[in-house]
Amino acid sequence: GPYTEYKKLTRHKISGSVKCECLFRLRGYLLIVGDWSLQVGDGRHNHDMEEVLKGHKIVGRLNPNESLYLHELTDSNIYLRKILTNLRKRNSKTSTNIKHIYNACHRYRQSIRGTRTDMQHLLKLLVEKEYMYHVGIIMIPM
């Protein structure tokens, strides 16, 4: 067909909240002083609140005890699916799903690794677990 030129949107989309994806008007203004002013056009939800929050970000968070348990099992190289099963056995009312477990495990492993790259971390672990060691050679001129 004939070429149609791209039309820019003249109006920005109305943003939605992250937690329940309901639309509301939120407008931000940059003040002369350098601060931001936010105005909420209509702060009411346009739907009824759900009774079951299965898979929701807030409900799926791990509490501190569950986080420690996850760290212990991750250090023991337990499969993440089994970690979720064990957490559900401990607390049958938990709404945590496998995605929350993957994300928490990833954050934990990143906190252990720190700023090192994967290769640097591997070499550090190899030296720590005594799979390899460094030998220094001193060259004496003859």
CB 41 within 8 A of CB 26: yes
Q: Is the dihedral of CA 68, 69, 75, 77 positive or negative?
A: negative
| 54-96 pLDDT per residue, tens | 656 666 688 889 999 999 999 999 999 999 999 999 988 888 8
Residue 100: CB atoms within 10 Å: 21
Distance (Å, whole) CA 46 – CA 44:
6
User: Angle at which helices 64-75 and 98-113 pack, to 10 degrees?
Assistant: 70
pLDDT above 60 (res 16): no
Amino acid at 125: L
More confident residue, 54 or 106: 106
Overall average pLDDT of the 12-23 stretch: 53
Give pTM, 2 decimals. Answer: 0.54
